[in-house]
Amino acid sequence: MLMGIFDTDNSVVSQEDLHDGVDFICEFSSKLRKYRNRLTGSVNETACARAIRQTITDETGAQARLEAYRAYPLFGRGSFSFLAFWYLFSYVLYFVSFAGNKLAGILLSILALAVFAVGIGILVAAHFGKKRKIRKMLYPKVSYNVVSEFSKNKDSKGKERTIIIVYNHDAIAGNIFKEQRFINDLARVFIPLTAVVFVLFCIIKMAVGTDTSAKITALTVIPALLGVIGTIITMLRFSPLEKHAKQNNGVATSVAMATYAYFVEKSDMLADDVRMVYVSLGGENSAHGGSEAFVKSHPEYASACVLCIGDIESGDLKIMERNSLRRINYSTPMVSLIRSSAYEQKIDIVVQPHDKLSQKIGSIYGNISDAFALNGNPTSAIVADENRSVGRVLERNDIEKLFSVTVGTVLKLMHDNISLPKDEQPIQQTSSEIEIKTVVGK
């Protein structure tokens, strides 16, 4: 790949359209800062969805709608605060076990271990979005996906290929620190350490007893110290408060919208048998509720090609080909088309590494492409994670590259006609949990 400044003469988009598209991306990204604290189900997230819906209509004339679904803000990262309180509760049970005789102490220690194991198991599953039944125990809110469709095919019964361009507009739960990576690194060390120490000392206490002052001291000081540290760090890791949200910079939102608008406004470039679908996901940072809701409520798109745009925080563009931690493979043809689009335009882009442990940990919360890949859709994602060690800040030239790559990828999708064999296409039923309705903006 060629490195350095992107030569716009190589772009599949004309100079004028590229300039106009990037101007829109920069302006709309700036506009979305008004809704910076847009956590799942919040007033800001709903206002952001309405602003996106209105902008689509204003820019393209195409109709857009809000699709409501039940979102669970405490599913995923939002459950971390409960994890801290459960740690604390388990440690309290442990220290209470010192008050009785040996038999009572053993029984209370066993109870503390059982409470710890069950509670931590449930909360960890909720935190990583593993057990979907758990979310039914949580308080739901309403979140919205924004959806718009465009096709030149006036015959609704005509056979069409579908291309979906998707991203998310909600924010990630943050914390009270400006430098969030520091508390993240501490959490990775002290939270597992706290759990191991708790289990270890419960077992040791049951084995050796607490019949001397030396044993009591040894069995209380270290757990108390690490328990306090672990609980505090756990409580600080993710805040449920909107004011602590990690701002979604809106670049992916704006690039996806600009790409969709490009093909709606230049409909002569859109193949006659292609339907373009634009999706902005709400609640995606709460264990990917937005993408799951969209997939379940739209079985008609079970074979659509899906181009996802993930977090764009730097100029280092990458293609996601796999979530190795969850063993989800994305579409090899989709990855190849994105790379081909970039290569032909002399844009530097690489496949996101995913084999090392640190890289797997980076996918611990899942990726925007996961729900689509599990649904059987040919899919992949373009991302640009923040890289402080390299120091590559996001610049206008980087946005030009991203916009040009997405447009080029859509053009290739229309030409190459990626699809699944008929016997491999999944059959989806609309979920009874999803409530879809058109909401009129205020």
Least confident of 179-188, 249-258, 317-326, 384-393: 384-393
Q: Where are the beta strands (DSSP E) in 23-134?
A: 64-71
Q: Which of 42-56, 245-259, 404-418, 422-436 has the lowest mean pLDDT?
A: 422-436
Percent of the chain with pLDDT over 90: 44
pLDDT of 440 reads 40
3-state secondary structure at position 255: helix
- Model confidence at 421, pLDDT cuts 50, 70, 90, reads very low
Predicted local distance difference test score (pLDDT) of residue 438:
42
What's the CA gap between 62 and 66, in Å, rounded? 14
Highest mean pLDDT among 174-188, 221-235, 259-273, 427-441: 259-273
Q: Of 88-92, 158-162, 184-188, 279-283, which has the strongest mean pLDDT?
A: 279-283
Kindly give the interhelix angle for 180-208 and 102-127, rounded to the nearest 10 degrees.
150
Per-residue pLDDT at 220 exceeds 90: no
Q: Is the dihedral of CA 254, 255, 261, 264 positive or negative?
A: negative
* Residue 151 CB neighbours (<10 A): 20
Average pLDDT of the chain? 84
Q: 312 — phi, psi (to 5°)?
A: -115, 95
pLDDT at 109 over 90: no
Nearest to 199 by CA among 260, 117, 95: 117
pLDDT band with cut points at 50, 70 and 90 for residue 436: very low
Residue with the larger pLDDT of the pair 257 and 172: 257
pLDDT of residue 223: 82
Does residue 420 surpass a pLDDT of 70? no
Distance in angstroms (rounded) separating the CA atoms of residues 374 and 426: 9
Provide the 10 A C-beta neighbour count for residue 349. 20
Classify burial at 56, counting beta carbons within 10 Å of its beta carbon; exposed 0-12, middle 13-18, buried 19 or more.
buried
Q: How confident is the model at residue 418 (pLDDT cuts 50, 70, 90)?
A: low
pLDDT of residue 202: 86
> Which pLDDT band, with edges at 50, 70 and 90, does 83 fall under?
confident
Q: What's the whole-model pTM score?
A: 0.83
The stretches of 160-212 forming alpha helices (DSSP H) are 180-208
Of residues 91 and 295, the one with the higher pLDDT is: 295
pLDDT for the residue 56? 95
Phi, psi of 32 (to 5 degrees): -70, -10
* pLDDT for residue 131 is more than 80: no
**Is a pLDDT exceeding 70 seen at residue 431?**
no
Look at residue 263 in the predicted model and tell me its pLDDT.
95
Confidence of residue 132 (pLDDT cuts 50, 70, 90): low
Provide the pLDDT for residue 5: 79
Write the pLDDT tens digit of every residue in 320-363: 999 888 889 999 999 999 999 999 999 999 998 877 776 677 77
- Calculate mean pLDDT across residues 159-176: 90
**pLDDT grade, residue 389 (50/70/90)?**
very low
User: What pLDDT shows up at residue 27?
Assistant: 95
Q: Say what the pLDDT of residue 437 is.
A: 43
pLDDT score recorded for residue 52: 97
* Amino acid 102: pLDDT: 80
Q: Tell me phi and psi for residue 329, to 5 degrees.
A: -95, 135
Residue 95's pLDDT is 85
Top-confidence residue, 124 or 43: 43
CA distances from 37 to 170, 239, 283 (A): 8, 12, 13
